[in-house]
Structure formats: structure tokens, C-alpha cells
DNA sequence: CTAGGATAGTCGCGCCTGCAACTATCTAGA
DNA sequence: TCTAGATAGTTGCAGGCGCGACTATCCTAG
């Protein structure tokens, strides 16, 4: 007679943990800066080595649906946190980048988020944190979640 | 100038991984058996050491909102996968338990889900899987996600 | 015994988000 | 060149779910 302990079942544990961690961070970007997760992902992508990229690129490498990214970009445009410029080579897409105001918000937000992450992981030793990151990496890799940046990049620079 | 690599940021990684794992399992309980996640959580709770408990108990220990559990129970009642009996001692609540049909579905579903979990974790060695479970446990504990069963139990048996 | 507060469960409302259709644009092949 | 298919982005729609109000019931203090 098969049985399953939900509390030892990795998929359930990952879901619950991710929800809890997201809730812990939401107070930073939502309550303090009025951002939701998709909007934060747009800023995060533009803020790290991708100063001007398309919405599609952001959707790909954050694994977020393009309609969700589209709405996030619309909201960020309205708040003048990002701007978009026409891509002469391909007029279907727009190149997105943070405005000065967007960068200012980003600069203030990042240290707060890093601090929150540190708090959450502070129950682990430095060695355990590294181990945890590596194990996550192995699972991500086997699920095909890792190479999105490189592949996206190689697939035409976006 | 602070910066943050989304792909090394634990909250993002956990979110993305949880979403991917959930999607991988959804084909089992949704496509094959027409269950969504809350419904599956109800069955899982009833199937493991809690043969007759209240909706509130399920909500507590799965960390799911009571309205979500309520709707899941309604759907399961309609499909006659669970039934509920009046609790003479407290007529505000109902005791839920799986019907014979519910148990039959549960028996067929469990091995499939376990197999999927094994596939997902097959990229890790046995030792790494154990390590991963322990690290998850430490984080869960520090976030107060662990003792829900015991606390719920001690809080009156529900 | 009664009144006020707590708790179980239900349900309406609104937000979020994925799906799919749509437009505009690009690309490849006849 | 022209056409068919692919792709970027937007948007209407519907389903899922959390919030909060509501009813019914229970409990505790006076």
C-alpha cells in the first residue's frame, strides 16, 4: 500500500519554500517600491549586464511568459523607470533600458534584497550555502534551466 | 555601484525551480487525473497519517489558504473522491476522509509522483540528495515552516 | 445564563497570469 | 517579387487564488 509524506516530498517542499521566500522579499519590492515580481525581474535583467535588451530576451532568460513581461514593461514605462528605443535593424522589437530614475531605484533596492537573502540563508554555514548553490545548480542544469542566457545570447544577441 | 545577478540570487532560483518542478508533476495529477495542486494536497494530507481531519487542519499544515482548500474539497466531494462526516463534538467543522474511489486514485497516483520526483533528483547522488534534503530542512526550520504538523496536532488534534 | 470574542467553512470580488488571437514585421523559398 | 511561415509585442478572456465579509457554532468571562 503506497503512501507519501508530503513533508518529505521535494516538489511540495520547494513550492512552499519558494512561496515563503517570495513573501519575505515582497515587502521590499512591493510595499516599499510598488513593484511586483515581473517588474522586478525586468529591472534585474536590465541591471545586470543587459543594459539594452528586448522584452522577449527578458521573458526567455527569466522564464516568464511574454504577456506577463509585456504588462510589466507597460507599468514601468508609465512610471518612467524604463524607456524603450526603436531597433532600426528589427522594427518588431524595442530595446529596453532603465531610465535614470529606474537606475536610482535599482541602486536602492539591490542592497535591501541582498540583505534579505543573506538573512534567509544565515541559518547555513558558508560551506553549506555553497553546497546548496551547487546542488541547486545541478538540478537546474538537469532540468535545462541553466543555459538560457548563453543560448539566448548565441541565438542572435537579442 | 551595487549589482545583482538574478541567476545567482537564491529567491529567484527557488521560484524558477519550484515552477519547473510543479510543471513536471502537473502532467501526472492534472492531465491524467484532473486534479489541481490544492486538490492533490488535500488527498496527500488525508492519505498520510491523517485519515479523518478538518479542512482547517489541511490548510494549516500545507500552508494553503482556507478558501483554496474549501474549493478543492468542494470539487473532490463532487467527484466523490472524499466524503465528510459531521463532527458531533464541534459542529462548525467536518471531518474529511477519502472515499474508496479516492483511495484507489491515490494508490495509482502516488507511485507515479514518486517516480517523477526520483527522475528530477536523479542528477544527484544518494549522498547529495540527503544533503539537499537536510539543507532544505534547515532553511525551512529557520523560516518556521517545519513544526506545523506537530503544532497543529498539539493545538488540539483538529 | 448571557454577551463578546474566537473559530470553521463558504463565497463574492478583484487581481494576477497564462493562453490564444491579432497586428506588424521579418525571413526564406518559389 | 511574392507568398507562406516565423517572430515581437499587445490585448481580451477566463481560470485560479488570496482577501475579506458573512453565517453558524463554540468558548470563556462575568
Question: In sequence order, which residues have a C-beta less than 8 Å from that of residue A140 and are 6 or more positions away?
Answer: A146, B13, B16, B17
Q: Which helix (H) or strand (E) holds A94?
A: strand A94-98
Report yes or no: A75 and A39 within 8 Å, Cβ to Cβ: yes
Report yes or no: A101 and A80 within 8 Å, Cβ to Cβ: yes
> What's the pLDDT tens digit per position in B37-93?
999 999 999 999 888 999 999 999 899 999 999 999 999 999 999 999 999 999 999
Q: Reduced to 3 states, what is the DSSP secondary structure of residue B83?
A: strand
With 0.85 as the threshold, say if the pTM is over it. yes
Q: How far is B4 from chain A (nearest CA, A)?
A: 6
The closest nt to A23, taking CA to C1', is D18
Could you tell me which residues are beta bridge partners of residue A82?
Answer: A98
Report the DSSP pairing between strands A94-98 and A82-86.
antiparallel
> What's the pLDDT tens digit per position in A68-117?
999 999 999 999 999 999 999 999 999 999 999 999 999 999 999 999 99
* Separation between Cα atoms, residue B91 and residue B71, nearest integer Å: 20
By the CB < 8 Å criterion, does A77 face chain B?
Answer: no
> What's the pLDDT tens digit per position in B108-120?
999 999 999 999 9
Number of residues that this document lists for chain A: 158
Report yes or no: A136 and A64 within 8 Å, Cβ to Cβ: no
Banded pLDDT at B146 (limits 50, 70, 90):
confident
DSSP state of A32: I
Which B positions 34-73 lie with beta carbon below 8 A of chain A?
A: 37, 41, 44-45, 47-49, 62-63
* Separation between Cα atoms, residue A2 and residue B123, nearest integer Å: 24
Taking the CA of residue B18 and the C1' sugar atom of nucleotide D25, their distance in angstroms comes to 39
Q: Do A9 and B113 touch (CB under 8 A)?
A: yes
Phi, psi of A36 (to 5 degrees): -100, 180
| Least-confidence region, from A36-50, A67-81, A89-103, A140-154 | A140-154
Amino acid at each position: 500500500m503506497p503512501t507519501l509524506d508530503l513533508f518529505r516530498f521535494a516538489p511540495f517542499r520547494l513550492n512552499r519554500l519558494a512561496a515563503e521566500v517570495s513573501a519575505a522579499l515582497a515587502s521590499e519590492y512591493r510595499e516599499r517600491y510598488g513593484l511586483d515580481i515581473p517588474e522586478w525581474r525586468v529591472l534585474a535583467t536590465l541591471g545586470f549586464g543587459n543594459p539594452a535588451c528586448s522584452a522577449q530576451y527578458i521573458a526567455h532568460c527569466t522564464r516568464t511568459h511574454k504577456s506577463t513581461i509585456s504588462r510589466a514593461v507597460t507599468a514601468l514605462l508609465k512610471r518612467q523607470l524604463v524607456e524603450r528605443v526603436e531597433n532600426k535593424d528589427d522594427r518588431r522589437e524595442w530595446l529596453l533600458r532603465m531610465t535614470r530614475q529606474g537606475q536610482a531605484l535599482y541602486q536602492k533596492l539591490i542592497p535591501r534584497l541582498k540583505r534579505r537573502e543573506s538573512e534567509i540563508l544565515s541559518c547555513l554555514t558558508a560551506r553549506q550555502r555553497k553546497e546548496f548553490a551547487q546542488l541547486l545548480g545541478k538540478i537546474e542544469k538537469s532540468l535545462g534551466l541553466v543555459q538560457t542566457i548563453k543560448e539566448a545570447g548565441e541565438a542572435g544577441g537579442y
